[in-house]
């Protein structure tokens, strides 16, 4: 791959900006103790220490790791088919808006998104550590996958290159192929249920979508439908997800998902009333 001076320069500038406070402190200490060369050396040491500390915090904090992985992988998914569309960028912005990020956190999220778009970005770099921390938190891992699938669907359907990234991510998170297919079908159903509801389509179509949201067949018994509903709600309950490592900023996303599940269940119950 050819060296792109402009891209690399932008990356260096972004990295310096991210660690600017530590670089400045290190430079001041270096200047006081060693003059000009002390300033240079101190700034460099400050940069290294800051980068190491931020990496260590992410390594032991599931919420920090989830936040970084969410936007870097989202960038990777968006770039997978060679071009990042405006819809994909808007989806990332919508997620940030739902999270109610302040300006600093929004910039950080965009930096992670940009990092993920780099052709050399390795998904395993962030997902493996996330997998270790969420080993016994399947609901949080499931939420992560669902967000990435929504990102992949932002421009319509999931393309083959996007699905390849999703498959790799699921493998790193120890999800089997059957689980992936089930989640893809459910996320598509959630999207259709929402879009069809907004468009005011035929109630029979919405009812079909509702069954797909719960992951059950229309011939399922009332008991089976209720069991599926309870399972979905348990997996997407905002308070449970936050307690298991989901960043608190993402509670609105979890609430939205649980509301969609609730709405689907209510539509099925209404349709089944004698």
Instruction: Report pLDDT digits (tens) over 93-109.
Output: 999 998 888 999 999 99
Q: How is residue 118 annotated by DSSP?
A: S
Residue 103 shares a structural domain with residue 212: yes
User: Is the residue at 163 inside a domain?
Assistant: yes
Q: Reduce the DSSP state of residue 152 to 3 states and report it.
A: helix
Give how far Cα 184 sits from Cα of 2, 70, 91, 130, 154, Å.
Answer: 36, 17, 18, 21, 14
Domain count along the chain:
2
- 1 is a domain residue: no
Residue 205 belongs to some domain of the structure = yes
CA nearest to 90, candidates 70, 112, 74, 73: 74
Is 0.85 surpassed by the pTM of this model? Answer: no
Q: Does 41 share its domain with 86?
A: no
Between residues 23 and 164, the one the model is more confident about: 164
Residues 51, 89 within the same domain: no
pLDDT at 245: 73
Q: Is the same domain home to 88 and 146?
A: yes
Looking at the structure, tell me whether residues 125 and 203 fall in a common domain.
yes
How high is the mean pLDDT of the chain?
A: 79
Q: Which residue has the higher pLDDT, 266 or 63?
A: 266
Instruction: Report if residue 10 sits inside a domain.
Output: no
3 in a structural domain: no
Range of the domain at 202: 61-272
Inter-residue contact 251 to 103 (CB < 8 Å): no
Q: Are residues 25 and 111 in the same domain?
A: no
* Residue 88 falls inside a structural domain: yes
Domain check: are 35 and 72 in the same one? no
């Amino acid at each position: 791959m050819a060296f792109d001076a402009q891209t690399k320069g932008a990356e260096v500038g972004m990295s310096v900006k991210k660690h600017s406070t530590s670089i400045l402190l290190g430079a001041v200490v270096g200047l006081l103790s060693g003059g000009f060369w002390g300033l240079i050396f101190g700034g460099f040491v400050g940069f290294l220490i800051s980068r190491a500390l931020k990496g260590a915090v992410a390594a032991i904090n599931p919420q920090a790791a989830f936040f970084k992985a969410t936007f870097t992988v989202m960038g990777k998914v968006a770039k997978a088919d060679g071009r990042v569309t405006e819809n994909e960028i808007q989806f990332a912005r919508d997620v940030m808006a739902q999270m109610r990020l302040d300006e600093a956190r929004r910039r950080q999220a965009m930096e992670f998104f940009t990092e993920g778009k780099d052709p050399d970005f390795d998904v395993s770099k962030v997902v493996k550590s996330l997998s270790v921390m969420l080993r016994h938190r399947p609901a949080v891992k499931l939420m992560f996958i669902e967000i990435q699938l929504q990102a992949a669907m932002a421009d319509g359907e999931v393309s083959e290159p996007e699905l390849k990234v999703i498959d790799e991510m699921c493998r790193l998170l120890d999800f089997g192929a059957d689980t992936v297919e089930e989640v893809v079908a459910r996320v598509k159903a959630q999207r259709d249920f929402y879009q069809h509801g907004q468009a005011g389509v035929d109630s029979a179509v919405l009812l079909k979508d509702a069954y797909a949201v719960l992951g059950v067949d229309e011939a399922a018994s009332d008991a089976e439908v209720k069991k599926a509903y309870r399972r979905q709600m348990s997996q997407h309950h905002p308070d449970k997800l936050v307690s298991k490592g989901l960043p608190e900023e993402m509670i609105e996303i979890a609430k939205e998902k649980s509301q969609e599940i609730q709405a689907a269940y209510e539509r099925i119950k209404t349709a089944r009333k004698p």
